[in-house]
Structure 1
Amino acid sequence: MNRFGRLNTLRNQIFLGFMLVMIIVLALVGVFVYDQVSALLRNSAEKHIQQTAVQATGKLDALLKQVDTLTAQVSTNATVQRYLAQETAGHPITFGERQSLQQEVRKYEAYATGIRSLELYTTDYRRLFPLDEGSLTSRVGVDWIIAADKGMGKLVWFGQDPRDPDVVVAVRRIRLIDHSFTHGGYLLVKLEKDYFALTDSAGGMGGDSRETMGLFDQAGHEISSDFATAVDSKAVLHREGETVTVGNEDYIAVQRQSAATGWNLVILTPVDYTTEGISVLRTAIIVSGAVGALLFLILSFILTTMIIRPILNLIKAMRGVRLGTLKPIAVTSKTMEINELNNSYNQMVDSLNELIEVVYQKEIIQSRTELKALQAQINPHFLFNTLEAFYWALDDQGEEELAQIVVAMSGLFRYVINRKDEDEWVSVRDELDHAERYLMIMKMRMLDRLSWRIEADEASKSVPIPKLLIQPIVENAILHGVEQRLGPGTVIVRAQASDQPGYTVVSITDDGPGMDEQTVASLYSSMEKGYAESAKKSGVGIANVEQRIRLYYASEQAGLRIHSVVGQGTTISFQIPNDFPAIDGEGEKHENDTDRG
């Protein structure tokens, strides 16, 4: 017994069955719990991130609102309105007026944080203050000025100053209130980027939070951020809900756009931070499953031991009496099923003892009968010597035809009788010679009504074949084919190579009356049952040949194949492999080096 067979015990099967059920149950429960709780944790983390984004956006809007209010106050200041109206009317203000105007605006700067400077320009883009000469077109691009004009007095945010990367620029077009809100000039405000730092004051961003955020203008320039490393805006912008990599860590990106400025606020949350609770949950489930599996393993081992121990005791008792006389065993188990097994075994022992006694008596009677049969058996050599004496007597009298028939009969008997029982394999050549001797004997009985041909190539003649496989089919062809004709008939025996490489086909054809499909189907059914349903049962029979082919060749052959046409005759054929087993040229089988002929 191999190693697998030794392990394939009832105890192991029960144990593995229990473990398999336990593993399936724990796996299903673990997957369900993990899926549900991880979904809750993931939703909670997402809500926290969204809340942080809303709070940070609110803080940004508040900062922008402060600047908007401040610039609105400056643009509507009476002094600013008066001097800009004077400039618009074509009366340039003096240097002293510009100084007083600057002092008036500086008052607003004193009450604001983060503002680096306020600059005032006329409608023709000349700068009124600061007092140095300059123009709005040299300060900002024409497209910025056009955007400010389209704003119709609203504060327009442009983002990072092209000349100073540390400054953010916004422009408001000033409208003259007392002159039907006509165009009066421009107010440019420059703010420090630190003014937009949102981290410290954004709700939910302090404490142990690992979230970071960055603020980018429309062009993707960084205005404010607390990222640990420099971040390319293209790598984080427009990646809402996606995973981005910054440095060596993966983050989930959440993006919000300011309606007032068009700037983008990006919040990055580490992936491991959002899944931290899920990792703890996964660990807890794995540990719980391992502990449960260990406990179930121990309990299953104890339970299987309790179930199998009585059966092992029964097996031990049965092995103890296997080599001697069968004896009943005592019923000692308290389990109903084991007691039933013990009672069944005791009944089986009683029945077997009775059968042994009966078989023993039958063996004695059979041995005596076989001894008498052997004593009465005719010596085959005596039969051959007698046929040889007939042959010489007929030859002396000139009866050559009868002498040849006697020789054929002697060869036929010698082929059937003179071989050892275990020497069941011959060559196709031997079988064809035996069939020819049988045809010669039948020719003497049927005279001119029977003719035959034997066709075989040399390669097919050496193919091994079980003894007495062809002659019964030839006998069937004569009995049910030629003899059923009104005139002469022909039997053709062929042995030739098959269309399938490595195989030989043997066929026996007669030109008898043939059979219809129903008769052929009945014949196949008879071969399946193992006997022929024919009124003329002679020889070994076609059913015997069918069984022998299937017995010798197992699944390599489908058995006999029958082709018959009413009025044209019948062909019975079978196919055999060329190398099963090895037969030498003299027709003797070689399974090993010893000649068994």
Structure 2
Amino acid sequence: MRRKPSFSWRQKLITISLLCLMIPSIVTLALTGLYTKNELTNKASIKSEQSLEVADLYISNIVRDMLNAFNTLQYDSEFITNLRAAWSSYNKNGGSQVDFFAFKPVSEKLEQLTFFGGQTYVTILLPDGLIFSNYSTYQNDLSFLYSEPWIKQMDGDPVNTTNWIGAQNNYIRSTADRYPKLITVVRSFRLFASSPNAYMIISKPQEQFNEIFSKYAEDQTIMLLDEQGTVLSQSDPARIGSQVPSSMLYPGELQNLMWEGQEYIALNHPLSFAGWSLQCLTPYRIITGRIGNFLNDIFVFQALFFVVFSFVLFYLLRQLTKPIVQLVKTATRVELGNLDERSLVTGQDEIGRLGSSFDRMLDRIKEMIQQVEWEQGRKRMAELELLQAQINPHFLFNTLNSIRLQVRMKGEVEIAEMIGSLSTLLRMTINRNNEYLTLHEEAGTIEQYMKLMNFRHLENVQLATHLASDTLLAMIPRFTLQPLIENAYLHGLRQKHGHITVSSRMQGQYLYVTVQDDGIGMTVEELAAVRAKLMEADQRIKSAKERSSQINGIGLKNVNERLRMIYGDAYLFEMESSPGNGLKLTLRIPITFRKEEAGHA
């Protein structure tokens, strides 16, 4: 039965000291929180109410000014008479133009209007597409306003209905960059009792509404909301059009809430029109900053406790860390290579057990190093035996070279070249030291292979290599191209006269190698069948013994599987073919230039 580890006297003493240090701090902070909670709430409430009253007065003046403009225009009989004359002349001319003398009084009346707060846009939409405004409409087609949803909705409302549209995108091209959002109010009216509805649209830049927010309450966030809680105006343009939580819409109720990851004290103030309201948010961190002097006294009191107990803790920690320091020094010396070093830290507490375990671990490591050295010696002996086993292949290569020289001396140049190609190919097949070759070396191998195949089948298949200069030193697995050439020779050209082309290029971080023949090609069904075989994940890879015993047994499938295992998803194999147009194979593999990197690709 394992004994449950017990706390050492050092741990107990440190725990008691920390409790003595924390208890006064916790009590002090608790009393401070109770005292300041009501004070913070009262200050935030008074400040928020003052800010909202000023903002209410300012915004009410703006809205009252907009409503007065509606009344001034709608109930001005002369202005309405001029509108009727302009509309009549417009319809009389087939909707193409307005009589100048009918147009001028309306435009002058709109231009003479003055508004509180600055720039104001007035637009009058008469039936049949006649539009008047107090701003330039050059290159600004306003006909889309007739199809706005709020216009269509007002067609069914009673005449003289006022619709508070709220915030919308600026429809005036000349000022859209400076004022992205407008606050819009619309009222319907009629020129004649039986005529369709006409509309007066008054819009103000949203910036006029939030101007008072930033000037009067720099440390507060004030927003103008509609009755659904949509932000109509705010100092941050990114928040316009966003939706606030429904908990913010309770009027006159001070509350603490989290919004956008920050704590606020919030107060909602309803306005007297359209169900709109003002929302004031005061960051809690700003309020707490205002009572910093009061909290400083508390921090000083706490600092005294920390000073007293820090000396006690320092002494205790020094006693506790002394064996740990000894362990660190021992580990440093071991890191420098001195495996005979030991910490000699003992004891019944955790540090003592750690020191004993550390020393036993060093003993075990030393034993393992001795075991590895013994195994390395055995491995070197095995390598010597393997080197001796290579004498026979070297004897075979030297014999073939001697035969080639004798045949060449007798004038049989072609046979001598075939023996040289066979020797080169055999050397590449038997040699397993280099699993990866440069693309240039692999191209040399397939050239020797093509010579042997043409000699064997008494054909003259042409092999052309077009390798980009920056790809010649790229590393690829041995015998990557030979099976593809073999497939093109035996199955594409049917061992008949033809052409095989090998090309390469770099693109990004990948090497693209293409093998193309001008043989019989494949039908769509045949191509699909080959692709299906290549995609079968449950095909077993031939053993290394089988791959080394016969070159022709590798095949497209095994090449594809071998490259897929080496490069994973970075590898790509594509096939293109049609009857009579040969077969085009494209390999995409990651670029590597050193053999050690290729092995880890």
The answer, yes or no, to whether TM exceeds 0.5 is no
Normalising by structure 2, report the TM-score. 0.39
Normalising by structure 1, report the TM-score. 0.39
Larger Rg: 1
